[in-house]
Structure 1
């Protein structure tokens, strides 16, 4: 059958979220709360929306994924050749992806890397959780640095995943003793509530920087700003009480 027409509002938001587009690639600054593709009760996601926004592009595919509640840079290939090129780059170390996260407590500057193997387990509800599993898990590495401190209460950090496992950054920050604000799966409700009270009603994980090699040998470097809710929350955090 015909695809279900998506809400105009969502299509407009996604069209407005494009930060780069050429004949082979689209990169968007995905808003928090929008799934990358339909399934599990959702009839649509980013990829379904772009198939309606770009009906002439018959080969649109997601290059990689972002969790539904994570915002930031997401690549969508318009051509198979670009998809293959980027998958090869992602498997090697050609792609540099960096995220910002607001975490609980004071992140020690000495924690520059977390190396902890990750395995999946299923909750009774059918939801997927990821946990550190040194026996059976897949090797996973994330490099961290402190961007800004908010006393002992919270730290804004940069996370650069070297491997690309499901929920990797969320589980690695937790493993280091600092959960991410607004993380309903791996977070801490008291901390998340304090951030919510400042207006931060979202997961504070944002893919803000991306460097990718293009097939012609050039390099695409992109940055995506955080949304207004994130910006205002951080402003309130830094205001003297």
Structure 2
């Protein structure tokens, strides 16, 4: 192990626009992800002499204080397993010199760590070694599948983050909700607060006092006996937003072990559901190079479509 001293880092145009945690993961190669979040929580990392949250987007002219850290000595990187390589190559929905859009498989986290050998970003950096500025534009929960956008250029990352901040990136999800949905559509505005348990597990709760604003539009797509396929459109992008909003209105997502309905989950397991029924079905945004409209869709995975077929058969019998 080697120890580095305190560093002062002046943010230039080449680095601006990144989330602070993603920037640290990139420049502190070899430092465990858990330790990076620890030094952020403790205030050892400073931005313009003050504390900053992991999701802060660094800007040109910011001065970062990077504390001494113990870094693993350089070694040959682990080789990406063949099955994962094939799975990710087959999951590419769109790619050019600026962007890569993936149909993220359920069960694969966007970042490695916490006992996970590979995350999406680590795997794709090995698959695309020439894309040295490859970064996640946004995130999906580990058990959520569907459209995930990555940037290949810092300029593209900045432009897409600005689109997110301005609400100009439209993300549409499909979820199987517990219960019989009343009416065609429903808009949910409930503030959400994120907590981290001692185990490190993240839990989100509705909190009208300390929560951050969260707004989701839901509309019914297909009705079954005791279940409804709904489309969810996000106005904000809070952690676990769709799952917690549906739980709060008594329509928990099928297969949700954290916020779900145990009896409903058991019923769906009998029908073959082995994962969270939440899928990022499509995304719309302006291409950062020329502002051309992009509309990318990810088909519903076969294992989720099979569950819907089972429900349709139940409804007909």
Report the TM-score range of the alignment, normalised by the length of the smaller protein.
over 0.9
Gaps of 5+ in 1: none
The residue correspondences of 1:1-241 to structure 2 (distance < 5 A) are 1-109=75-183, 111-151=185-225, 153-215=226-288, 216-239=290-313, 240-241=316-317
Q: What RMSD, in angstroms, separates the aligned Cα atoms of the two structures?
A: 1.1
Q: Quote the offset at 1:124 in angstroms.
A: 4.2
Distance (whole Å) between structure 1 residues aligned to residue 77 and residue 223 of structure 2: 47
Distance (whole Å) between structure 2 residues aligned to residue 154 and residue 35 of structure 1: 27
Structure having greater relative contact order (Cα 8 Å, sep ≥ 6): 1
Report if aligned partners of 2:184, 2:220 keep a CA contact under 8 Å in 1: no
Number of equivalences: 240
Q: Quote the offset at 1:11 in angstroms.
A: 1.1
Higher Rg: 2
Q: Quote the offset at 1:126 in angstroms.
A: 2.6
Following TM superposition, the consecutive aligned residue runs of length 4 or more in structure 1 with deviations greater than 4 angstroms are: none
Farther-moved stretch of structure 1 (205-214 vs 109-118) = 109-118
Distance (whole Å) between structure 2 residues aligned to residue 234 and residue 105 of structure 1: 15
Gaps of 5+ in 2: 1-74
